[in-house]
Structure 1
Amino acid sequence: MDHQSVYSDHLSRIRGFQRKNKIALRHTKVDNFVFISIIMLILLFTLPLQAQQTGTISGFITDAKSAEPLPYVNVMLKGTQRGTTTDQRGYYVIQRLAPGTYTVTVSYIGYETIGQEIGVAADLDVRVDLALTPEDVAMREVVVTADRTRFEKSVEVSRVNLSARDLEVVPAFVEADVFRSIQMLPGVVAQNDFSAALVVRGGSPDENLILLDGVEVYNPYHFGGVFSAFNTDAVANAEFQAGGFPVRYGGRLSSVLEIQTKEGSPAGGKLGKWWPFREYFDVSKGNVNVSLLSSKIFLEGPIKNGGWVFSARRTYFDQVVKMLHSLSDTIPELPYYFYDFQGKIHTQLNAKNRLDLNGYRGSDDLTLNFSSGGGDRSTQEIGLNWVWGNQTQSAALKTVLKPHLFIESVVATSIYQFTVGLTQAVTDTNGNRSESRFDIKNQVDDLTLSERLDWKVNENHRVQGGLEYKLLDFNFSFEQDGTLFLDNTDSPNLLSAYLQDTWSVGALLNLQLGLRSTKYSQSDRIWTDFRGGFKYRFLENTAFKFSMGTFTQFIFTTNNDDAVLRIVDFWLPVPDYLDPQRAWHFIAGVEHWIGNANQVSMEIYYKPYLNILDSNPIQTVYNQTDDYISGTGRAYGFETIWKRGAGRINGWLSYTYSKVEKEIDLDSDGQIDASQGEIYPPKYDKRHNFKAVVNYDLNEKNRFGISWTISSGQPYTPVVGKMFGGSEGGDWLVAYLNQTDISGNRNSALFPYYNRGDVSWSRKIGWFGLDGEFQFQVLNALNHFNVLLYQWDFSTMPVQVTARSMFPITPTVGVNFNF
């Protein structure tokens, strides 16, 4: 190459570098401007507004028996065209009312309609809180009514709200489970029968934001993912958004699952007159559930100006298996159990302020002991103790600053940790004993401070904004015999601001636009996400919906996506030498209502991943900046669901077609080569999925349920041959004893199709003066052999392949008592 060519090449590189940095600089300036603008606008919301010559009526609508807030309740002023519906908090506000007397009429299917006469004066805010008494109507019809109103008023796409009853009727392993119910929705894939983790529209499980009463939970599973971490008896509802979620949610690429704990019923004290403090604390009702593998209890009741909820659960795998082992030595012991506690207290401090205190703690404990040798040989003993779990606490002050301005101030902590202790002891034939111990600890600490504002400009216009500061601490340590060999700590922080505007243009068109900006301490720039969408109801019962936006994620898990079991998660912040993970969402669909109980929804989506992270297969020990590499990907698909919400036969049918693909330069040669397996589907890419959840209420006492899934086989990496290793001793025969698998392209083969049907029967009972329910379930009722993995045996000719299955046919029983 001549000097001129070298000079030209060098000059083009410099110009390219300059162009890249100019673009980055422009991005930084724009992001900084957006970030500062959002904060300024949020601060403006809190300024006092000039008084006007009109009045306002506002308040909360709740269930008189359970104290749960009632969303989407119709609140009208009789004899006028003015009115509104309650939001998710059960809150409503009707502004700019001329002075006079009005009759507030509140109606909701399944509840008694009530009216109250209210006087309104200029510059006067009238607070009217009302509790509706349930009528003798199936609660499922109430849920349908809320869904219908949500269809008419909301903008969000890919959104499903599951009530407590929805969670109860879906057949699950041993007991009702939030995550197992979510897995039966379109667009959601289960990795296998042993995992409750959610794979949503091609995203890995760490791309889902899991919130319990607004607090992030990092590892929401028990028993390696077989159970979710939440007791459904304490759950009021679960709102799931599979994509296009609004800007108030950040830090994840795929979906949001927000779980709300019950409020605590104020009615019917159980402690009686003998209890001197019943004005301050009482028990209104409870529930005890006993199944083959676990027991749980749920209690709720009133406190002064509020309510409380408590639930607890513990498995007894360890005790059941221990008993069976005592009967037969051929049955091995399983010294494992998990427990969890969940609680909530809320109190109305005064007319404008309410305080919520929430807490959760869950833990898994596995202890194993092995021994070998003895007699004329040394004795070796190995002990393993593995404990992992989550802990969350939060305090939320909810303030009605003005009837149209609602502020929520939250301080929350979330801790996820696992510890592994391994002890190895050797005793020789002379009785001399040597012992060593290894301890591994991984912990995530999350402290979050947030301020959320909700400004109801009028009945058709709503502005929401917020600030959030998140301080994270990631720690990984390794200790041997009391000596600390490794202690890595990383403490990034994130400061986020968001602003969202939602308004109704007439009665048929709803629009939503939002911006979210985040300053990540391990990045030089501010990252801004734009999201927008609309819903146009072009017919009375039919609407077209669309959403698009960008999503950014700053933490990730290092788990191998190809692993068969995902027992714990290993969370890390995105390192400073890589950009955070980012993706676009493009979603369009049609929603149609048939009558008042049936709804059909169809959506198509395209999710291009601008940046995803994966472990570097050729990383070096001494280079601290090559542990992970970036890539791109794409996911797209079509989903449809028919849901019947009321009647003796109810449930849903769904079908999903989806495709997921990743592109990662695994050998770091600067090129993407499909023949080298650098373009591949992840393990959870299942092309076709059909799901059915059907419940049949035979009569007042008996209910039957079916939950069925048929899907394409899961991709896996085939073993295509074996390679013989060399012999250090020079004996050529020994070489053939050392064999290594030769793998084909990553996830280039498919397991057979998956087919699992679960059936259930529940019957209301009355034992010992208590109302209850007997539950019987059969998992995999057809005993279909669903492949979990293949094992190759190259020691025989021809090579033998053994398939290992997931759950066989498995019956379970349980009893539930209410008091």
Structure 2
Amino acid sequence: MKKLACTLIFILLSCHLFAQDETHPFTIRGLIYDEKTNERLEGAVVSSGDNASAMSDKTGFFQLRLDRKAEKLKVKLVGYEEKNLVIDFDDESEVKLIIRLTPEPILLQGVTVTGEHFTEEPVVNSYSIHPGDLSKVPQFIEADAFRAFQALPGVTTAADMSSQISVRGGNYDETLVFLDGIPVYNPYHLVGVFSMFNSDILQNERLYMSNYPVSYGGALSSVLELNSKQGNNERIKGSAALGLASAKIALDGPLWGGNFLISGRRTYFDFLTRMIMGIRFPYYFYDLYSKYVYPLSKNNLLTVSAFYSRDALGLDDDKVFVAQKEIPNWGNLFLNFSDEYFLKEKSSVELKAFMSRASLGVNTQVFFTDYYHQMGTTDTTTVNNYIEDFTARLTFNSHPDGQALAVGLEAKREAIHYDWNIDETDLNGMYIHPLESLFFDFAPSQYSYSGDEFYLNAFVTDKVTISPVSELTAGLRGSYIKNLKTFLLLPSFSFSYNFLPNLQVHLSYGRYFQNTYSLKERKTEAVFTPFMATFFPEDKENIPYSDHYASGLVLSDIFSEKTSLEVEGYFKDRNNLA
């Protein structure tokens, strides 16, 4: 570990020194916003007359270094009007800008386009959805962040109604979900029918179907990356909607020198049936999200965010009397703190600390009666399950000319606790049989398990433009697992080459391991699950790992600028599966 740490420090310092190249004495930096929503825009290309260019990051920030003073600047982003600016440095070597882009519809003649995520420069082995696209995807009841990817080749589901996804032969527990870089475990409402994220808070989402970046880890098959909106700092605005399944509200705007985003969603059938029919609908769910972004200085951006969700299931029935201290409920909580400092010369350092927890709790006693209201059998059910993740991460990013470098160090503690006691009586038949099969296949009615693990992870990745037609991304992730006393090296690379302006060929490889494993493969009657139990490997020989190989081609602009063909072959060598 000492050798690895020294190597990473050396790389970081070397890259920082490299970034201090004094051959580019002039700098243009700034933020790019959507003119209508005032949200910061990621992926906008800023270029000057001498062909120097830069791209805005997830916070809308860009930095362009020049050999000489530029008089003209061009800003482009798909879906927005191109903007041309005249720059005046005066006697300064640095200019700061606030740029606002106007949305522009993409007009086509004679064709209908559904989904535009293939139109941008392809990212190997991944698909993305951008703002506005989610509402265009065929919906089940209402827009869902996960269900949007189910139409992709290689993505399957356990059932037609489920939003849980299995990618390229992997089990659904082999896909990790991240919101703003925070892992979210068991991220589903209504026992897997809906994802727990309100689509109104999402800026974009990307599914890495294989060979995902080394900045992520712990998933055997794939990664689903969700990024929330930044909010606007111009005026407070809000929206509300009533869908077939839930009612939701969102609000964002300036606050105390920064900007905030808050949203909430809840089902309403329990209220509706009580008011109209006088009966109690036994189930509801809700979720809450909040985010606050504050610029501590012109180079320092502080972000705090929180997410909370809960599903609750009542047990009332005309044949039972329920004495309950805690009705069956499950959900998630995460708290996040992030401080990003923008250095000179296209570099930044981000310190991120978060806690993510998924839990399920039950403490009920059900008395069954016969038709004469005499006391019959009794069920007592107690469940106390949770998965916790505490992580601190330091990441250095740099964008020297023709490169995108990232170096990171991460300390992670995961804790798992399961404790349940479920009576084998008629309670099982009320909803699903057997209840304990919700956790893993053929689980006993009484069970207890506790475990924790500490990981020290480090990664380095560099995306290099070799020539105008070729690009190489190479990465290495190292993980030390404390209890197993083992260290894993996980290499990754991808290479792409443009044989023609509209023909790209790519190949990639990556090795990945999974922190935990499950014992659930849908072998019982329980098709949906509110809480899946996972376990730590007992020894290093049983750590689940996989090797990903992929190669393919992308043929774009076949009939028009919005038509493309992608063909890809892949192979996953998966080992030590439970």
Q: Which residue of 1 aligns with 2:62?
A: 92
1:245 offset after TM fit, Å? 1.1
1:359-398 matches, cutoff 5 A: 359-370=306-317, 372=319, 385-398=327-340
How far, CA to CA, are the matches of 2:511 and 2:565 in structure 1?
Answer: 27
How far, CA to CA, are the matches of 1:497 and 1:70 in structure 2?
Answer: 29
Q: Which residue of 2 aligns with 1:184?
A: 151
* Distance of aligned partners of 1:298 and 1:49 in 2 relative to their CA distance in 1, 3 Å threshold: closer
1:587 equivalent in alignment to 2:530: no
1:291 equivalent in alignment to 2:261: no
1:443 equivalent in alignment to 2:404: no
Q: Which residue of 2 aligns with 1:318?
A: 270
Q: Which residue of 2 aligns with 1:172?
A: 139
1:335 equivalent in alignment to 2:335: no
1:452-471 matches, cutoff 5 A: 452-458=395-401, 460-471=402-413
**Structure 1 residues 562-606: Cα deviation after superposition (integer angstroms, max 9, x where no partner):** 342223211322223653210011111111111321122111111
TM-score by length of 1: 0.61
Paired residue type of 1:134: P
**Quick check: which has more Rg, 1 or 2?**
1
Paired residue type of 2:490: D
| RMSD across aligned positions (CA) | 3.3
* Distance of aligned partners of 1:46 and 1:386 in 2 relative to their CA distance in 1, 3 Å threshold: farther
1:163 equivalent in alignment to 2:130: yes
1:113 equivalent in alignment to 2:83: yes
Q: 2:513 aligns with which of 544, 548, 552?
A: 552
How far, CA to CA, are the matches of 1:135 and 1:431 in structure 2?
Answer: 70
How far, CA to CA, are the matches of 1:506 and 1:185 in structure 2?
Answer: 31
Q: Which moved more, 1:564-573 or 1:243-252?
A: 564-573
* Distance of aligned partners of 1:58 and 1:149 in 2 relative to their CA distance in 1, 3 Å threshold: farther
Say if 1:523 and 1:579, in contact at 8 Å, map to a contact too: no
1:543-692 matches, cutoff 5 A: 543-563=504-524, 564-576=527-539, 578-594=541-557, 595-613=560-578
Q: 1:351 aligns with which of 276, 284, 298?
A: 298
How far, CA to CA, are the matches of 2:46 and 2:117 in structure 1?
Answer: 14
* Distance of aligned partners of 1:362 and 1:97 in 2 relative to their CA distance in 1, 3 Å threshold: same
How far, CA to CA, are the matches of 2:542 and 2:9 in structure 1?
Answer: 24
Q: 1:68 aligns with which of 35, 39, 47?
A: 39
Say if 1:101 and 1:120, in contact at 8 Å, map to a contact too: no
**Structure 1 residues 401-460: Cα deviation after superposition (integer angstroms, max 9, x where no partner):** 2232111111111010001223144799999999784421001111110111111121x1
Say if 2:117 and 2:128, in contact at 8 Å, map to a contact too: no
1:150 equivalent in alignment to 2:121: yes
Q: Which residue of 1 aligns with 2:361?
A: 419
Q: Which residue of 1 aligns with 2:217?
A: 250
1:396 offset after TM fit, Å? 1.0
Q: Which moved more, 1:181-190 or 1:105-114?
A: 105-114
Paired residue type of 2:567: M
Q: Which residue of 2 aligns with 1:232?
A: 199
How far, CA to CA, are the matches of 1:504 and 1:479 in structure 2?
Answer: 58
1:554 offset after TM fit, Å? 1.2
* Distance of aligned partners of 1:575 and 1:495 in 2 relative to their CA distance in 1, 3 Å threshold: same
Q: Which residue of 2 aligns with 1:665?
A: none
1:252 offset after TM fit, Å? 0.4
Q: How many residues align?
A: 546
How far, CA to CA, are the matches of 1:211 and 1:345 in structure 2?
Answer: 19
Q: Which moved more, 1:569-578 or 1:248-257?
A: 569-578
1:391 offset after TM fit, Å? 0.7
1:180 offset after TM fit, Å? 1.1
Q: Which residue of 2 aligns with 1:676?
A: none
1:405-554 matches, cutoff 5 A: 405-425=347-367, 437-458=380-401, 460-478=402-420, 488-554=449-515
Say if 1:42 and 1:466, in contact at 8 Å, map to a contact too: no
* Distance of aligned partners of 1:239 and 1:143 in 2 relative to their CA distance in 1, 3 Å threshold: farther
Q: 2:259 aligns with which of 307, 310, 314?
A: 307
How far, CA to CA, are the matches of 1:335 and 1:144 in structure 2?
Answer: 37
Paired residue type of 1:558: L
Paired residue type of 1:341: L
**Structure 1 residues 288-335: Cα deviation after superposition (integer angstroms, max 9, x where no partner):** 1113332111122222443211111111233344567648xxxxx641
Say if 2:171 and 2:521, in contact at 8 Å, map to a contact too: no
SS in 2 for 1:233: helix
How far, CA to CA, are the matches of 2:268 and 2:465 in structure 1?
Answer: 53
Structure 1 unaligned residues grouped into runs of 5+: 1-30, 270-282, 328-332, 373-378, 614-819
Say if 2:20 and 2:345, in contact at 8 Å, map to a contact too: no
Paired residue type of 1:348: P
Structure 2 unaligned residues grouped into runs of 5+: 424-445
1:476 offset after TM fit, Å? 2.0
TM-score by length of 2: 0.85
Say if 1:189 and 1:198, in contact at 8 Å, map to a contact too: yes
Q: Which residue of 2 aligns with 1:701?
A: none
SS in 2 for 1:457: coil
Q: Which residue of 2 aligns with 1:83?
A: 53
Q: 2:173 aligns with which of 201, 206, 222?
A: 206
**Structure 1 residues 761-810: Cα deviation after superposition (integer angstroms, max 9, x where no partner):** xxxxxxxxxxxxxxxxxxxxxxxxxxxxxxxxxxxxxxxxxxxxxxxxxx
**Structure 1 residues 343-373: Cα deviation after superposition (integer angstroms, max 9, x where no partner):** 211122211001111111110000113465x
Say if 1:112 and 1:134, in contact at 8 Å, map to a contact too: no
Say if 2:553 and 2:566, in contact at 8 Å, map to a contact too: yes
Say if 2:262 and 2:289, in contact at 8 Å, map to a contact too: yes
Paired residue type of 1:449: A
How far, CA to CA, are the matches of 1:574 and 1:606 in structure 2?
Answer: 24
* Distance of aligned partners of 1:287 and 1:427 in 2 relative to their CA distance in 1, 3 Å threshold: closer
Paired residue type of 1:107: K
How far, CA to CA, are the matches of 2:539 and 2:6 in structure 1?
Answer: 23
Q: Which residue of 2 aligns with 1:132?
A: 101
**Structure 1 residues 509-549: Cα deviation after superposition (integer angstroms, max 9, x where no partner):** 01011000001122222011110011101101110011111
Paired residue type of 1:386: P
Paired residue type of 2:383: I
* Distance of aligned partners of 1:120 and 1:301 in 2 relative to their CA distance in 1, 3 Å threshold: same
* Distance of aligned partners of 1:175 and 1:51 in 2 relative to their CA distance in 1, 3 Å threshold: closer
1:52 equivalent in alignment to 2:22: yes
Say if 1:58 and 1:403, in contact at 8 Å, map to a contact too: no
Say if 2:32 and 2:100, in contact at 8 Å, map to a contact too: yes
How far, CA to CA, are the matches of 2:376 and 2:499 in structure 1?
Answer: 81
How far, CA to CA, are the matches of 1:229 and 1:558 in structure 2?
Answer: 23
Paired residue type of 1:82: A
1:553 offset after TM fit, Å? 0.8
* Distance of aligned partners of 1:554 and 1:431 in 2 relative to their CA distance in 1, 3 Å threshold: closer
* Distance of aligned partners of 1:104 and 1:430 in 2 relative to their CA distance in 1, 3 Å threshold: closer
